[in-house]
Amino acid sequence: MAALELLLSQARRHCFTKTNSYKQLSLRLRSPLLGFHRSLCSSSSPEPSPPAETRPDKSPRRSQPPPVQAVSYPVKPKEPSPPQEDPPQSSPPQPPSRAREPRRSDSDKPETRSWTREDIRYVKDIPKVSPVSYPSRVAPLPEDRAAEAEEEGKEEVRVENLEKERKRIEADTRRRIRWDFRAEEEKVPFPTLIKQVSKKEKVIYDLQEAVRLIKANAKSSFNETVEIHVNLAAELRRTDLKLDGMASLPHGTGKAVKIAVFAEGSAADEARAAGADIVGSVELIEGIKNGSVKVDFDICITTHQFVQRLQKLGNVLRSRMPSTKAGTVTDNVAKTVKEAKRVVKINKKDKAAVVHAGIGKVSFTEEALCENVGAFVNALLLAKPAGLKKSSKYAGYVNSVHLCSTMGPGFPVSIQSLSLAADRYHKLQLN
């Protein structure tokens, strides 16, 4: 620009007049710059240039460039804003949002007042929010779990009580509806609690008292048998131990016992005099072997003379087979026959370890029945296995003893009274 100004000053001084030369030179220099400026303009179609002016000397004059006009764009229409409702009195005033809003002219801007931090701080209607603190979570202790379980149990009990109350109310309602249909209302007594009758404690009787109760409760038309039941120790249940023996009762069993005696000569005569039912020798043995003689006797007694010959009858006699251990092989036949009329066999039930036996009839006197019980208990003690040794005769061997009749109830008997009866019988036998 400095060079251009220098050039213009020199041209004005030498070539042109003071007024016109400067204007013409400036127009000549500005025309190419103006065309270059128009080429950069955004307008697509150039505006027509005005006609060239002519001088008075009729020489053509260069047209002046048109003035640059200012371009104005229409104002963007404002969007209609929804009508603002008065906020409720309880809601606090909100601070102005920082969202970008379209520019408004000064005339359209409503009179608003921006909220500052100090203004919001002193507004009275803003609700105060209290801070919330949560308890810290810790692992439950055993005491807490016990307390929780107790609370759950109380809740279950409360629910159960409510359910019972509901059922009771429903039952009362149904009963009330049913009673309303009747002409006359009957009074229902208040329900009373019935105490549960506890089971009677087991009473153990003395021997004489038990015998007395048995005779009092025997009301059958026939002569009932008095039975004794002995529960042995549990160790004897799963063993092969058998208490095979004979108990001689001083007053007998009251039952007819059929006895067969194998003897000859004077021994046979003594056996018939003592009350033997069948007496014989070799002929009796052959008859039993051939089957001509029925084996309907209960006890078989023999002398030592016929022991070898009776071995052939083992499959027929079986449990009736005479043996030295049972005392049925003897030379004193008369005494053995008399005792056999009064004996009772002792047999143990292997599965239950219980001994059953008949010790007399209900028609016997109380003293006779007590003596028979003492004799049976004494024989039972004599058959006690050697391995069962305790501090007492009955400890670990006899658990309980019951007496009953054939059709009557049973009565437990104390071990002390049984021991006294057995000792009394043993003393009488020694004398």
Which tokens hold the place of 120?
Answer: 């919001």
Check pLDDT > 50 for residue 43. Answer: no
Check pLDDT > 70 for residue 228. Answer: yes
Work out the number of other CB atoms within 10 angstroms of the CB of residue 230: 23
DSSP state of 326: T
Q: Which of 299, 326, 310, 314 is nearest to 242 (CA)?
A: 326
DSSP state of 241: -
Which tokens hold the place of 379?
Answer: 């024989």
- Non-local CB neighbours of 147 within 8 Å, separated by 6+ positions: none
Q: Which of 215, 205, 250 is nearest to 343 (CA)?
A: 250
The SS3 call for residue 271 is helix
List, for residues 59-83, the tens digit of each pLDDT value. 455 566 777 777 777 777 777 665 5
List, for residues 335-387, the tens digit of each pLDDT value. 888 888 887 777 666 577 788 889 999 999 999 999 999 999 998 888 787 77
- Non-local CB neighbours of 299 within 8 Å, separated by 6+ positions: 257, 258, 259, 260, 320, 328, 340, 343
CA dist., res. 176 & res. 178, Å (int): 5
Check pLDDT > 70 for residue 54. Answer: no
Q: Distances in Å between the alpha carbon of 363 and those of 123, 225, 255?
A: 117, 9, 12
Phi, psi at residue 246, to the nearest 5°? -125, 135
Which tokens hold the place of 146?
Answer: 């016990």
Which whole number is the average pLDDT over 104-130? 63
Q: What is the pLDDT of residue 99?
A: 46
- Whose tokens are 């006359």? That residue is 184
Does the predicted TM-score (pTM) go above 0.85? no
DSSP state of 221: S
Burial class (CB in 10 A: 0-12, 13-18, 19+), 318: exposed
Q: What's the half-sphere exposure (Cβ side, CA atoms, 13 Å) at 34? A: 14
Which tokens hold the place of 126?
Answer: 């803003």
Which tokens hold the place of 83?
Answer: 């009508």
DSSP state of 101: -
Q: What is the pLDDT of residue 363?
A: 93
Burial class (CB in 10 A: 0-12, 13-18, 19+), 423: middle
CA dist., res. 350 & res. 341, Å (int): 27
Average pLDDT of every residue of the chain: 76
CA dist., res. 141 & res. 136, Å (int): 15
Which whole number is the average pLDDT over 299-311? 90
Check pLDDT > 50 for residue 240. Answer: no
List, for residues 275-301, the tens digit of each pLDDT value. 899 999 999 999 998 988 888 888 899
Phi, psi at residue 225, to the nearest 5°? -95, 135
List, for residues 313-328, the tens digit of each pLDDT value. 888 888 888 888 878 8
Q: Distances in Å between the alpha carbon of 273 and those of 248, 284, 341, 409?
A: 20, 19, 13, 41
Which whole number is the average pLDDT over 8-16? 65
Which tokens hold the place of 341?
Answer: 């009329």
The SS3 call for residue 17 is coil
CA dist., res. 32 & res. 27, Å (int): 9
Domains and CATH numbers, the chain: 202-255+342-431 (3.30.190.20), 258-340 (3.40.50.790)
CA dist., res. 328 & res. 322, Å (int): 5
Which tokens hold the place of 428?
Answer: 């009488």
Q: What is the pLDDT of residue 146?
A: 80
